[in-house]
Amino acid sequence: MAATKKTAKKLNPALSKPVQPDAVLAAIVGDKPIPRSEITKKIWDYIKKNGLQDTKNKRNINADDKLKAVFNGKATVNMFEMTKLVNGHIKA
């Protein structure tokens, strides 16, 4: 007889499941497993704290040395490209 488990329904389980940032991303968001939504929030907090959002085109992020490592060496990325590049530094 197998026991049945009831799980609470979540809006988007992929966003709320903790994932492990790699060493490059951990320099910005920390090295503990956290949900993707928190990773995005922490990256935006870092961008705003360090004034890295482009003043003319708010969709662009001008990377400092830590973000360049996350962005595969690119000096400027747009916010949509950023999500794709960040995903490359997450271990599911």
Rounded to whole angstroms, what are the CA distances from 54 to 44, 47, 83? 13, 10, 17
The domain spans of the chain are 17-91
Per CATH, the architecture of 17-91 is what?
Orthogonal Bundle (1.10)
Could you tell me the two tokens for 16?
A: 């709320």
Q: For residue 24, which phi and psi values (nearest 5 degrees)? A: -65, -50
How does pLDDT run across 32-62, given as a tens digit for each residue? 999 999 999 999 999 999 999 999 999 999 9
* Whole-number pLDDT of residue 1: 53
Q: What does the DSSP assignment read for 50-91?
A: TT-B-SS-TTEEE--HHHHHHTTT-SEEEHHHHHHHHHTTEE
